[in-house]
Amino acid sequence: MNIRNYYLNLKKLSELDESLQIRIHEYYRDMIYNKQDKRDDIAESIFNTLWHSGYLNDVREEKLDSILDEDKSINS
């Protein structure tokens, strides 16, 4: 898991009440700290929770979507 490719979905986070925003941000922070501390199983579990709940965005996926989007492609 390369967490450098992911970032917190602030748009989705802003749709939550403040206490849930704080909780999700804490999960994100815990994921990063656990990864840094080489507790990969814990980091991956938190990642999966955030990813499958829609609270993480994938930079690589966005770049691919942008390239494949006909409106933004070179051939337009």
Query: Structural domain boundaries of the chain?
Result: 3-68
25 has pLDDT over 70:
yes
Prediction pTM value: 0.78
Question: Each residue of 42-67: pLDDT tens digit?
Answer: 999 999 999 999 999 998 766 665 66
- What are the CA-CA distances from residue 18 to residues 2, 9, 11, 25, 52 (Å)? 29, 15, 13, 11, 21
Position of tokens 């494949």? Answer: 68
